[in-house]
Amino acid sequence: MLSGKNILLGITGGIAAYKTTFLVRLLIKAGAEVKVIMTESASSFVSPLTLATLSKNPVLLDFINEDDGSISWNNHVELGLWADIMLLAPATANTLSKMANGTCDNLLLATYLSAKCPVYFAPAMDLDMYKHPSTKKSFEALQSFGNVMIPAESGELASGLSGEGRMAEPENIIGFLQDHLSTGLPLSDKKVLITAGPTHEAIDPVRFLGNRSTGSMGFALAEHAAQLGAKVVLVSGPSNLTTSHANIELVRITSAQEMYEAVHQYFSEIDIAISAAAVADYRPKEVANQKIKKKADAPLELALERTKDILASMGTQKQQQFLVGFALETENELANAKAKLQRKNLDAIILNSLQDKGAGFGTTTNKITFIDKNLNVKAFELKTKAEVAADIWKEISNRVHA
Ligand code: CTP
């Protein structure tokens, strides 16, 4: 479950920090990519050099790096987006209280506030601190935000006392993460199919009909589903984008017919399908074997024929699947999208209006309206495509688990 995952390990200032050297080794052994952020006091308990060597990445200590006279910035937003999982171990009472209250006075806390991924925390403190109502309040607040607590263990404490408060042993933290990832994420039992990108319809060996879709919305949907634990098949037309998430099987195709065949190879096994591809509606009726030569005066006429409607075909075969389409409209948007939802037998449709600036193809942002089969309509603000993907998955998840 940890193989291929980007793990951001936040280490705070407690004696259990020395155990994070073993924790990093186990994470790397499990196939994870690890980046470490430490608070200043954590670096008194365990050497950043040791952790940088074990994690094979520089250890991040502050917002600003000053090396050899050059200054660079550790971007907490980028770190938050990079991570599939954020793990705080050991998590001290002080840092947990700051996290619960939105305090942001170091790189680790700023990254915590920026992270969109699941957050796990493994508290470590003396037994009375662990039992204190104020600490319990932090635990409750963080769990109410969706963060997951890896409970402390009982035993001998650094103070010489014995009781509850020891950080869970590194092997147990790994075991907890693995168990939780396989059962605890909202889409961990779901198989998801997503189509993305344009299709290219050959005219001759060197030319094609295509469109300006980049695939970014479909890829963002696939990444987010994988982060929520789903097994994802991403069928993409020609796109420069790629993905390395272990839960995503990327199937690259070129034409609408190839996309149709790939989709139908997987569809019967799928729980949720989202059709985000900009599939060509027409293709040349005949594909020339040789490059078409221009003629002096005569215009070139291409006869076109319809491609198969992949989404509509999924709609007719639908059984257990929750099926979602996209509609890109320029006028009578809501009415057209609702009609499309019913015509293609969908469970939901996501409307892009070309009248909204920043929506649709070739932008990093999108503005959507989510419509379900009961014709409930929810309009969202203009957001980045990663944020839009999160909104879409929240709407789908609510309905699939209802
Ligand atoms: N779609 C598909 N296969 C096609 C065409 C479209 O799977 N051959 C899917 C798209 O991925 C999208 C939805 O259908 O989810 C868009 O529906 P469509 O009726 O093609 O939209 P428009 O092309 O905008 O329709 P119209 O020409 O009616 O405006």
> To test the ligand 1 pocket, which listed residue (217, 281, 321, 341) has its Cβ within 8 A of the most ligand atoms?
281
Does position 396 have pLDDT exceeding 70, yes or no? yes
Task: Give the rounded percent of residues in the chain with a pLDDT score beyond 70.
Answer: 99
Tokens of 161: 């006392």
Does position 60 have pLDDT exceeding 70, yes or no? yes
Q: What mean pLDDT is predicted for residues 234-240?
A: 98
Lowest model confidence (mean pLDDT) among 118-127, 225-234, 264-273, 391-400: 225-234
34 contacts 55 by C-beta, under 8 angstroms = yes
Q: What mean pLDDT is predicted for residues 213-217?
A: 95
What would the pLDDT profile of 291-316 be if each residue is shown by its tens digit?
A: 999 988 889 999 999 999 999 999 99
Does position 23 have pLDDT exceeding 70, yes or no? yes
Residue 366 annotated as catalytic? no
Q: Where are the alpha helices (DSSP H) in 185-327?
A: 216-227, 256-266, 310-317
User: Nearest residue CA, atom 28 of ligand 1?
Assistant: 340
Q: Is the CB of 124 under 6 A from ligand 1?
A: no
Does position 289 have pLDDT exceeding 90, yes or no? yes
Q: What mean pLDDT is predicted for residues 70-84?
A: 85
DSSP for 385-396, please give it: HHHHHHHHHHHH
Closest atom of ligand 1 to CA, residue 311: 7
Q: Which has the closest alpha carbon to 233: 205, 288, 197, 272?
A: 272
User: Nearest residue CA, atom 23 of ligand 1?
Assistant: 281
Task: State the chain's mean pLDDT as an integer.
Answer: 93
Q: Is the CB of 194 under 6 A from ligand 1?
A: no
Q: What mean pLDDT is predicted for residues 212-216?
A: 94
- Region for 266 from its dihedrals, namely left if φ exceeds 0, alpha if ψ lies in -120 to 50, beta otherwise: alpha
Closest atom of ligand 1 to CA, residue 314: 7
Residue 377 and residue 388: Cα distance in Å, rounded?
A: 16
The CA radius of gyration of the chain, in Å to the nearest whole number, is 25
> To test the ligand 1 pocket, which listed residue (212, 235, 309) has its Cβ within 8 A of the most ligand atoms?
309
Taken in order 313, 316, 320, 321, is the CA torsion positive or negative?
A: positive
pLDDT attached to residue 349: 98
Q: What mean pLDDT is predicted for residues 167-180?
A: 92
Q: What mean pLDDT is predicted for residues 55-71?
A: 84
Residue 331 and residue 364: Cα distance in Å, rounded?
A: 23
Please state whether the peptide bond connecting residue 90 to the residue before it is cis, i.e. omega within 30 degrees of 0. yes
Residue 52 and residue 120: Cα distance in Å, rounded?
A: 21
Q: How far is the CA of 276 from the centre of ligand 1 (A)?
A: 9
Q: What mean pLDDT is predicted for residues 72-97?
A: 92
3-state SS, residue 94? helix
Does position 207 have pLDDT exceeding 80, yes or no? yes
pLDDT attached to residue 35: 97
Closest atom of ligand 1 to CA, residue 308: 8
- Candidate list 75, 211, 336, 345, residue with the active-site label: 211
Residue 140 and residue 124: Cα distance in Å, rounded?
A: 16
Q: How far is the CA of 350 from the centre of ligand 1 (A)?
A: 12
User: Nearest residue CA, atom 9 of ligand 1?
Assistant: 311
Confidence of residue 137 (pLDDT cuts 50, 70, 90): very high
Residue 380 and residue 197: Cα distance in Å, rounded?
A: 22
Does position 163 have pLDDT exceeding 70, yes or no? yes
Does position 68 have pLDDT exceeding 70, yes or no? no
Confidence of residue 72 (pLDDT cuts 50, 70, 90): confident
Q: What mean pLDDT is predicted for residues 33-45?
A: 96
* Longest CA pairwise span in the chain (Å): 95
| Amino acid present at 298 | A
Q: Is the pTM of this model over 0.85?
A: no
Q: What mean pLDDT is predicted for residues 266-284?
A: 98
92, containing H or E segment: none
